């Protein structure tokens, strides 16, 4: 495969260099003049710090949206779905096509697509269950299966869309709210709010609906579920389908925050599992906190050390956490 | 000095206390029976003794030395062996090869005479004969019946030539005569010098086998003494037998 | 068959392959063949950890690239003969494998797999930011046109890779038939029961990770000479990760024969597809085959053949 920029690092570098070229549409939209990496003001070090923090928190919110699905599939169901980012990228591209053709807001598109992704998730789980879980061969074969899916999705997207960066249009991509020295770029604020809404919805669902509580229970005691005449397999399928449904929304949020191309998914694997492990598996609030933490660390690294180090942050955090505190910061 | 000495052992899973301050001393050559309702912590206790799980508090001393920091295989090398409640055979190895593993990795890992290839074969055959699986040596575990898998499980634990053998519910699902066979086998092993802790639900076997009976309920030890006395203990009756 | 005999036979086969290739007298055979041989080594190396012990490594590219970049690094110091660079690459990758294993092998297999992915990205980020070895701009290695006694330089590289194939197959087969092989199998089948039977699982897993990493590093060491211009995106390319997994899974993971078959079949297929269709489509085919085999024939081609033979014996 020919060389092409790697994910967020290059995208942001691209944005930075684009920033210097005032004729660049993209730069003008994503980076108002006089701003740095994520929209914050450059040149005042205290402001730089504050804005890096804000950028980190907003980014963290988005990361939470990306990870909530894995929190369910890995944290609760113990399925290592490393193809999760592939579904997210799929969501991004779907948002892109519909947005470009019909001009509909990407978040609206993603919500409309929720049922489609849900069905997709249910289908994938069924294949996974029949082929691996039932035969008790989850680890090696299951991982290879998801890895294959990740790979296939990426290659198909390359074949269909090519390796150019794609982006969406929406009224909130571009403007920045400013409150006394603090910058809130709307293209980051809106996804963060949407992510928190998603989190809220999921948390309510898991805590207050019968199926939601069954999902929390299925991790612990399948036998008890059976005794309550609930089919654990059905519950797991629903849970997995929900986890894939979240990728529809996460994908739309992704392409709002940054331009997307097929290999972008791969850097999110590390982020997603780093956050899961940091936050303690299976805990949705833990996931949000872990996501914020990672977002802040990444934002600071990017601002003070340069964007090309950003991918190493998530994966480095993951390695360190796995090595020294595998139960997570809020671990059980 | 007891062969196995467990003092103040506690184990928690999150907020759930699985074991609460267990004290247990097993003398060399004893036959101890461990009983208790489902979920009382028997298997957890075995796991902590063998190192599969790490206990939060308490000590485990084996053969005069503290084994607390040691990993499971190190404890096996020192002479502890256990069978699993749900049989866990090595699925891609033949029945005979299953027995070869502890011989290679435990018996041959100890100082002293290393078994040659021929001696390994003989030993495997002997063990298979001991549990009446002599003609199944070349088969895969998935071709065995449940009962045969339990026997394989026991044979694999015996292959490690332990000083202490913990048999975790090895008789579930066996017929009366098969239960008797296993009990006789275990008593014979004991006569050869192996200390045995038997965890069982089949009271007939437990009473026939045990010189001492320990009762675990909800993570606490509520009785420890001669089988006849323990059986008649009102606490035991209430918690376990009188249901 | 004793290992000594096996090695002699493999050397003979390798020599036959080499001379047959020379007869064709087309350099393309050597260029394409080098890639296939490289994949045999990578697949075999992956299988020592993944197939034998059941611990999946998604970061094969990291070890491969380590070998490649250690060559670039030392090349700048002092021109060394490639065999020396191969050893150095192997040592460095082996040490990194050991280190990473030590950090992560006490966890479940799933965490190890994710950690290997993380390692690949972290390593790539470091290399991209390290100007001494070229960083993102890449590094040039001028390769000589000819070499004494053999002729075109590519034939020399081909010969070296053949030697690595023989070494890796001998190592894999040797492990399989040894006590170590039993130990690895028990880890794969049931790690808890293995520990209870006295198998020192952590030590064995570390051995597997080290050997696997070292072999991959050795495969990567000549790569800069082969390709002439080394960029992180090519050294860390996804095709290495996918192929090192797909080839053993499709060929069969329980024996040394599986990765060999898988690498030859898939490698050749990919060479043809890349030339006739496109490199992206060929990777798509690999991915589809991987998923297909994993679902339908989990024991790979070797498993299918064994099943067929067992069926005939009945």
Domain ranges of chain C: 3-313
Cross-chain Cβ contact B105/C202 below 8 Å: no
Alpha carbon distance B230, C281 (integer Å) = 73
Residues 221-260 of C with CB under 8 A from B: 254
Cβ burial, residue B13 (10 Å; 0-12/13-18/19+): exposed
> Is residue A274 less than 8 Å (CB to CB) from chain C?
yes
| Sequence-ordered list of residues with C-beta below 8 angstroms from that of A232, at least 6 positions apart, any chain | A218, A222, A225, A226
DSSP A45-99: HHHHHHHHHHHHHHHHHHHHHHHHHHIIIIIIT----TTHHHHHHHHHHHHHHHH
Provide the ipTM. 0.89
Q: List, for residues A55-68, the tens digit of each pLDDT value.
A: 899 999 999 999 99
Cross-chain Cβ contact B92/C185 below 8 Å: yes
Q: Exposure pattern of C77-102 as b/e (b: 16+ CB <10 Å)?
A: eeeeebeebbebbbebbbebbbebbe
Nearest to A315 among C107, C109, C121 (CB): C121
Among C110, C137, C299, pick the best mutation site for testing chain A contact (most A Cβ within 10 A). Answer: C110
3-state secondary structure of B144: coil
Predicted confidence (pLDDT) at residue C63 exceeds the cutoff of 50: yes
CB-CB neighbours of A249 under 10 Å: 30
Is C221 in contact with C164 (CB distance < 8 Å)?
Answer: no
- Class of CATH domain C3-313: mainly alpha
Alpha carbon distance C21, C28 (integer Å) = 10
3-state secondary structure C247-310: HHHHHCCCCCHHHHHHHHHHHHHHHHHHHHCCHHHHHHHHHHHHHHHHHHCCCHHHHHHHHHHH
Cβ burial, residue A22 (10 Å; 0-12/13-18/19+): exposed
The pLDDT tens digits along chain B (243 residues) read: 899 999 999 998 877 888 999 999 999 999 999 998 888 889 899 999 999 888 889 999 999 999 998 999 999 999 999 999 889 999 989 999 999 999 999 999 888 888 888 999 999 999 999 888 888 889 999 899 888 888 899 999 999 999 999 999 888 878 888 888 888 889 988 998 999 999 988 888 999 999 999 999 888 998 899 998 988 888 888 876 654
With tokens 């088969």, the residue in question is B139
Among the ranges given (A88-97, C95-104, C182-191), the one the predictor scored with the smallest mean pLDDT: C95-104
Is B165 in contact with B3 (CB distance < 8 Å)?
Answer: no
Domain ranges of chain B: 4-241
Alpha carbon distance C292, C286 (integer Å) = 10
For the residues C72-79, what does the mean pLDDT come to? 84
Contacts of C202 in chain B (CB under 8 A): 71
Angle between helices C109-128 and A310-324 (to 10 degrees): 140
Cβ burial, residue C106 (10 Å; 0-12/13-18/19+): middle
Question: Which run of H or of E encompasses A253?
Answer: helix A232-257
Cross-chain Cβ contact C253/A80 below 8 Å: no
| Sequence-ordered list of residues with C-beta below 8 angstroms from that of C11, at least 6 positions apart, any chain | C166
pLDDT of residue B39: 80
From C57, C5, C31, C52, select the one nearest C244 (Cα to Cα). Answer: C57
Is B62 in contact with C189 (CB distance < 8 Å)?
Answer: no
CB-CB neighbours of B125 under 10 Å: 14
**Phi, psi for residue B21 in degrees, rounded to 5:** 60, 55
Among C198, C253, C258, C310, pick the best mutation site for testing chain B contact (most B Cβ within 10 A). Answer: C198
3-state secondary structure of B139: coil
Residues 51-110 of C with CB under 8 A from B: none
3-state secondary structure chain C: CCHHHHHHHHHHHHHHHHHHHHHHCCHHHHHHHHHHHHHHHHHHHHHHHHHHHCCCCCCHHHHHHHHHHHHHHHHHHCCCCHHHHHHHHHHHHHHHHHHHHHHHCCCCHHHHHHHHHHHHHHHHHHHHCCHHHCHHHCEECCCCCEECCCEEHHHHHHHHHHHHHHHHHHHHHHHHCCHHHHHHHHHHHCHHHHHHCCCCHHHHHHHHHHHHHHHHHHHHCCHHHHHCEECHHHHCCHHHHHHHHHHHHHHCCCCCHHHHHHHHHHHHHHHHHHHHCCHHHHHHHHHHHHHHHHHHCCCHHHHHHHHHHHHHHC
With tokens 């139960």, the residue in question is A327
Alpha carbon distance B206, B31 (integer Å) = 10
Among A151, A159, A280, pick the best mutation site for testing chain C contact (most C Cβ within 10 A). Answer: A151
Nearest to B105 among C188, C198, C202 (CB): C198
3-state secondary structure of B24: strand
Cross-chain Cβ contact B52/C182 below 8 Å: no
C121 confidence band (pLDDT: 50, 70, 90)? confident
> Is residue A162 less than 8 Å (CB to CB) from chain C?
no
Gap from B76 CA to chain C (nearest CA, Å): 5
Alpha carbon distance C250, C297 (integer Å) = 8
CB-CB neighbours of B102 under 10 Å: 29
From C40, C83, C38, C84, select the one nearest C65 (Cα to Cα). Answer: C38
DSSP A157-221: HHHHH-SS-B----TTSS-EEEETTEEEEHHHHHHHHHHHHHHHHHHHHHHHSHHHHHHHHHTT-
3-state secondary structure A255-321: HHHCCECCCHHHHHHHHHHHHHHHHCCCCHHHHHHHHHHHHHHHHHHHHHHCHHHHHHHHHHHHHHH
Cβ burial, residue C149 (10 Å; 0-12/13-18/19+): exposed
Please list the residues that pair with B212 across neighbouring strands. B32
Express as a percent the part of chain C with pLDDT over 70: 99
Please list the residues that pair with A287 across neighbouring strands. none
Gap from B179 CA to chain C (nearest CA, Å): 24
Alpha carbon distance C303, B53 (integer Å) = 36
B→C interface, C-beta within 8 Å = 50-52, 71-73, 76-77, 81-82, 84, 88-93, 97, 100-102, 104-106, 109, 156-157, 159-160
Question: Which residue of chain C has the CA closest to B74?
Answer: C198
CA A100 centroid distance within chain: 22
From C190, C218, C208, C265, select the one nearest C65 (Cα to Cα). Answer: C218
pLDDT of residue A326: 64
CB-CB neighbours of C260 under 10 Å: 24
From A66, A163, A64, A55, select the one nearest A110 (Cα to Cα). Answer: A66
Radius of gyration of chain B (CA): 18
Radius of gyration of chain C (CA): 19
| Sequence-ordered list of residues with C-beta below 8 angstroms from that of C98, at least 6 positions apart, any chain | C206, C209, C210, C213
Integer CA distances (angstroms), A200 to A55, A196, C91, C230, in order: 21, 6, 51, 48
Predicted confidence (pLDDT) at residue C161 exceeds the cutoff of 90: yes
Alpha carbon distance C10, C37 (integer Å) = 14
Alpha carbon distance A91, A114 (integer Å) = 10
Cross-chain Cβ contact A148/C113 below 8 Å: no
pLDDT of residue A327: 61
With tokens 């059905």, the residue in question is A234
Among the ranges given (B127-131, B153-157, C128-132, C205-209), the one the predictor scored with the smallest mean pLDDT: C128-132
Alpha carbon distance C119, A318 (integer Å) = 9
Nearest to B77 among C183, C192, C198 (CB): C198
The pLDDT tens digits along chain A (332 residues) read: 333 334 344 444 444 433 333 334 444 444 444 444 554 445 457 778 888 898 899 999 999 999 999 989 988 888 889 899 999 999 999 999 999 999 888 899 999 999 999 999 999 999 998 888 766 555 778 888 998 998 899 889 988 998 889 888 888 887 888 887 788 888 888 899 999 999 999 999 988 988 888 888 776 666 666 677 778 888 889 999 999 999 999 999 999 998 998 888 887 887 888 888 888 777 788 889 989 989 998 888 888 887 778 778 877 887 777 777 666 555 43
Alpha carbon distance A10, A3 (integer Å) = 12
Alpha carbon distance C52, C75 (integer Å) = 35
Gap from C113 CA to chain A (nearest CA, Å): 8
Domain B4-241 sits in which CATH superfamily?
A: P-loop containing nucleotide triphosphate hydrolases (3.40.50.300)
Hey, what are A52's tokens?
């890096």
For the residues C29-34, what does the mean pLDDT come to? 89
Hey, what are C84's tokens?
């020396």
3-state secondary structure of B13: strand
3-state secondary structure of B25: strand
With tokens 């691209």, the residue in question is A14
User: What are the strands, taking DSSP E only, across B68-110?
Assistant: 80-83
pLDDT of residue A96: 93
Contacts of C189 in chain B (CB under 8 A): 89-93
Neighbours of chain C (3+ CB pairs under 8 A): A, B
Hey, what are B201's tokens?
């639900």
């Amino acid at each position: 495969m020919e060389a092409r920029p790697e994910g967020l690092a290059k995208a942001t570098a691209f944005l930075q260099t684009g920033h210097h070229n005032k004729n660049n549409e993209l730069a003008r939209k994503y980076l108002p003049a006089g701003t740095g990496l994520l929209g914050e003001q450059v040149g005042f070090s205290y402001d730089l710090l504050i804005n890096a923090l804000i950028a980190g928190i907003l980014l963290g919110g988005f990361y939470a949206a990306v990870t909530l699905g894995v929190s369910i599939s890995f944290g609760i169901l113990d399925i290592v779905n490393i193809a999760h980012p592939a579904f997210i990228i799929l969501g991004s591209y779907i948002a892109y096509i519909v947005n470009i053709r019909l001009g509909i807001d990407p978040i609206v598109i993603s919500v409309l697509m929720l049922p489609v992704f849900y069905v997709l998730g249910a289908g994938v789980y069924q294949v996974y269950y029949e082929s691996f879980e039932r035969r008790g061969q989850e680890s090696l074969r299951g991982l290879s299966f998801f890895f294959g899916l990740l790979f296939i999705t990426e290659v198909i997207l390359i074949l269909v869309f090519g390796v150019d960066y794609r982006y969406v249009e929406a009224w909130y991509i571009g403007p920045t709210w400013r409150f006394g020295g603090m910058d809130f770029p709307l293209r980051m604020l809106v996804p963060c709010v949407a992510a928190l809404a998603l989190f809220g919805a999921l948390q309510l669902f898991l805590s207050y609906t019968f199926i939601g509580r069954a999902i929390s229970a299925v991790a612990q005691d399948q036998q008890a579920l059976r005794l309550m005449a609930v089919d654990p397999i059905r519950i797991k399928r629903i849970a997995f389908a929900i986890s894939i449904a979240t990728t529809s929304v996460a994908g739309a949020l992704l392409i709002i925050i940054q331009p997307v191309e097929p290999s972008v998914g791969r850097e999110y694997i590390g982020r997603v599992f780093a956050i899961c492990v940091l936050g303690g598996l299976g805990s949705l609030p833990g996931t949000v906190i872990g996501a914020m933490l990672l977002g802040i660390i990444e934002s600071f690294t990017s601002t003070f050390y340069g964007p090309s180090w950003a991918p190493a942050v998530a994966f480095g955090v993951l390695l360190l956490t796995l090595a020294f505190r595998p139960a997570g910061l809020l671990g059980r | 000095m007891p062969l196995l000495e467990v003092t103040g052992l506690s184990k928690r899973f999150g907020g759930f206390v699985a074991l609460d301050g267990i004290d247990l001393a097993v003398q060399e050559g004893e036959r101890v029976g461990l009983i208790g309702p489902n979920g009382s912590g028997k298997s957890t206790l075995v796991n902590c003794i063998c190192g599969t799980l790490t206990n939060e508090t308490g000590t485990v001393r084996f053969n005069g030395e503290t084994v607390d920091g040691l990993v499971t295989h190190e404890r096996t090398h020192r002479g502890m062996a256990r069978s699993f409640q749900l049989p866990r055979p090595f699925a891609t190895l033949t029945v005979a090869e299953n027995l070869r593993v502890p011989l290679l990795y435990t018996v041959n890992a100890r100082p002293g005479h290393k078994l040659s290839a021929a001696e390994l074969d003989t030993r495997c055959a002997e063990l298979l004969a001991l549990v009446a699986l002599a003609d199944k040596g070349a088969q895969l575990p998935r071709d065995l019946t449940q009962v045969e898998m339990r026997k394989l499980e026991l044979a694999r634990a015996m292959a490690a030539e332990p000083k202490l053998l913990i048999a975790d519910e090895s008789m579930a699902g066996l017929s009366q005569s098969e239960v008797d066979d296993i009990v006789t086998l275990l008593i014979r092993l004991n006569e050869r010098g192996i200390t045995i802790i038997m965890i069982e639900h089949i009271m007939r076997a437990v009473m026939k086998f045990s010189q001492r009976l320990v009762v675990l309920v909800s993570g606490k030890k509520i009785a420890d003494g001669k089988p006849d006395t323990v059986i008649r203990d009102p606490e035991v009756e209430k918690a376990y037998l009188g249901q | 068959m004793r290992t000594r005999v096996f090695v002699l036979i493999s050397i003979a086969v390798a020599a036959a392959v080499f001379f047959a290739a020379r007869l064709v007298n087309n350099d393309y055979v050597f260029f394409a063949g080098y890639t296939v041989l490289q994949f045999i080594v990578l697949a075999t190396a992956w299988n020592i950890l993944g197939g034998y012990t059941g611990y999946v490594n998604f970061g094969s590219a990291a070890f491969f690239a380590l070998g490649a970049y250690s060559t670039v690094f030392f090349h700048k110091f002092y021109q060394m003969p490639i065999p020396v660079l191969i050893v150095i690459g192997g040592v460095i990758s082996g040490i990194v494998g050991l280190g990473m294993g030590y950090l992560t092998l006490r966890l479940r297999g799933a965490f190890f797999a994710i950690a290997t992915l993380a390692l690949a990205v972290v390593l790539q980020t470091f290399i991209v930011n390290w100007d001494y070895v070229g960083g993102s701009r890449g590094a040039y290695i001028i390769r000589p046109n000819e070499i004494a006694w053999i002729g075109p330089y590519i034939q020399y590289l081909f010969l070296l890779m053949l030697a690595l194939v023989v070494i890796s197959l001998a190592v894999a087969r040797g492990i399989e038939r040894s006590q170590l092989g039993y130990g690895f199998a028990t880890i794969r089948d049931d790690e808890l029961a293995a520990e209870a039977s006295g198998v020192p699982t952590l030590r064995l897993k570390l051995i597997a990770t080290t050997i696997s990493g070292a072999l991959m590093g050795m495969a990567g060491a000549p790569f800069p000479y082969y390709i002439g211009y080394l960029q992180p995106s090519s050294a860390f390319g996804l095709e290495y990760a996918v192929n090192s997994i797909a080839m053993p899974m499709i060929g069969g993971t329980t024996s040394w024969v599986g990765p060999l078959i898988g690498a030859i079949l898939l490698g050749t297929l990919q060479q043809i597809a890349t030339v006739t269709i496109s490199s992206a489509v060929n990777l798509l085919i690999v991915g589809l085959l991987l998923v297909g085999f994993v679902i339908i024939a989990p024991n790979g081609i070797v498993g299918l053949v064994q099943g067929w033979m067992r069926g005939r014996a009945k």
